[in-house]
Amino acid sequence: MKRTITTLIMLSAIILNSCMNQKNKENFNDKEFEFVLTGNVKNGEGKLLKLTIPSKYPNDTLISEIKNGEYLFKGKLNAVEKAGISVVNKELNKRLPTTLFLTKDTIVFDFELGEQFDELTFISDTILKSDINLYARKIDKKYWEVNGGVWVFGDSIKNDSMNKHIYPNVKFKTLELIKNELNKKEYASIKLHYLRRILESDVFSFDYLSPSEKKEINDLFIETDTTLNKTPDYKIIESYISNFASNITRTSFKDFKLIDFNGNEITLSNIISNNKITVLDFWWSGCVPCRKFNNEAKPFYSQLKEKGIEIIGINVDRQNAVWKKSSSQDQIEWINLYAGSDSNIIPEYRITYYPTKIIFDTDKNVIDFDFHTAEDLLQILKEK
């Protein structure tokens, strides 16, 4: 009884603090500043670089050509923001962009280009000028010292054991790192980066977060400078935390509008209402099991469709173009929608691994989320 009362008090505090945080959003600072990112490049003459700022992508993806061994990016922002720099390749990039934090100070970032995994990419880099980025690199090293050796198992029994005996200590050390090392206002964007990172990880699985862990994450979040409230990291974290004090489970239906291959907006509830059962299949292009399902389900799709079973592929690739290329390669026939990596659908459904498949009946009740093949779907329909 005592533990229940304590839990309710903690969750009530989360709700109150979240409301206060919403009120603080009115203080958003619209004062712009110019950022400058420049440096020397080895082995890159004439190549193109792109700088992606998540809060502005895809409208403000900036391009710079390497001339005389140098590159230059300039732009305007309202607050220090996370961005990604990468090489423009003929084929879509397999590697993630290198993360940098853009500030009003000139950032000098040198690197060498080379071939890896059949594409041109950064093989070494050095931050020569930028206090915040040098500090971010230091924090990243410490983060991996705490999290780098942690195993995540596909086996639920092993994961249960890890969540009970190993992960609590890892979570404690990680939260202590964020609390002690990122408590200054100038590090707010770095703090958001790591808060989102942990909330999207298996180690911080929602189902195993204690009330005290939820409260600590919430406290770290509400201390963050609200001038960053328009960034994807802020919005994603806010969505995760809004579920902390909710009785809604991952298996509850949440409606979203997503775009299809032709750019049309599709509402999930409209599809689910018109089928006996509907699968939400969360996937991304670099996920081998995801692509395996795409190809193995194709021969069964017409049979599934005839029996009132629909599949909705929900892609979370960072780039729309990557999704389109993978979809064309896999010749996906079912409903195929794009959410992107910064969509609130990810925290709302608490997606931390891929593929994740959730099956709803026509009344939007969950009937299964642990099947592997298209043939399994036919068996589920027989049992329903």
pLDDT in tens, 283-307: 999 899 999 999 999 999 999 999 9
Q: How far apart are CA 49 and CA 46, in angstroms?
A: 10
* Class of residue 78 by CB neighbours under 10 A (exposed 0-12, middle 13-18, buried 19+): middle
The predicted structure's pLDDT at residue 202: 84
Q: What is the mean pLDDT of residues 338-346?
A: 93
pLDDT category at 196 given cuts 50, 70, 90 is very high
Q: What is the mean pLDDT of residues 185-196?
A: 95
In whole numbers, what is the pLDDT of the chain averaged over residues? 86
Backbone angles phi, psi at 318, to 5 degrees: -70, -30
Three-state SS annotation for 291-346: HHHHHHHHHHHHHHHHCCEEEEEEECCCCHHHHHHHHHHHCCCCEEEECCCCCCHH
Q: Write the CA distances from 211 to 203, 215, 235, 369, 371, integer angstroms.
A: 16, 6, 21, 26, 31
Q: Is the pLDDT of residue 27 over 50?
A: no
Strand partners, 338: 259, 315
Q: What is the mean pLDDT of residues 175-187?
A: 95
> Who has greater pLDDT, 28 or 266?
266
Backbone angles phi, psi at 291, to 5 degrees: -70, -30
The pTM of this model reads 0.81
Strand partners, 28: none
Q: How many Å separate Cα 318 from the centre of its chain? A: 9
Closest by CA to 88, choosing from 110, 65, 107, 109, is 65
The predicted structure's pLDDT at residue 25: 42
Q: Is the pLDDT of residue 10 over 70?
A: no
The predicted structure's pLDDT at residue 37: 98
Structure tokens, 4? 């229940």
Q: How far apart are CA 139 and CA 46, in angstroms?
A: 34
Residue that is written with structure tokens 């409606």 in the block: 255
Residue that is written with structure tokens 């009937």 in the block: 367
How much of the chain, in percent, has pLDDT values that exceed 90? 63
Q: Is the pLDDT of residue 152 over 70?
A: no
Instruction: Give the strand pairing for 257-259 and 265-267.
Output: antiparallel
Residues 346/316, Cβ–Cβ less than 8 Å: yes
* CATH entry, 33-129, from 3.40.1000, 2.60.120, 1.10.1740, 2.60.40: 2.60.40
Q: Is the pLDDT of residue 7 over 70?
A: no
Residues 6+ positions from 144 with CB-CB distance below 8 Å: none
- Taking the CA atoms of residue 171, residue 175, residue 176 and residue 182 in that order, the dihedral angle to the nearest 10 degrees is 150
Q: How far apart are CA 246 and CA 239, in angstroms?
A: 11
Structure tokens, 128? 């020569």
**Tens of pLDDT, residues 75-131:** 999 889 999 999 998 776 667 899 999 999 999 999 999 998 888 999 999 999 999
Closest by CA to 178, choosing from 213, 152, 210, is 213
Residue that is written with structure tokens 């395996």 in the block: 292
User: 266-298 burial, b if ≥16 CB within 10 A, otherwise e?
Assistant: eebeebbeebebbbbbbbbbebeebbebbeebe
Q: Is the pLDDT of residue 382 over 90?
A: no
The predicted structure's pLDDT at residue 372: 66
pLDDT category at 138 given cuts 50, 70, 90 is very high
Q: Is the domain defined by 257-383 classed in CATH 3.10.20.600?
A: no
Q: How far apart are CA 207 and CA 31, in angstroms?
A: 40
Q: How far apart are CA 317 and CA 193, in angstroms?
A: 18
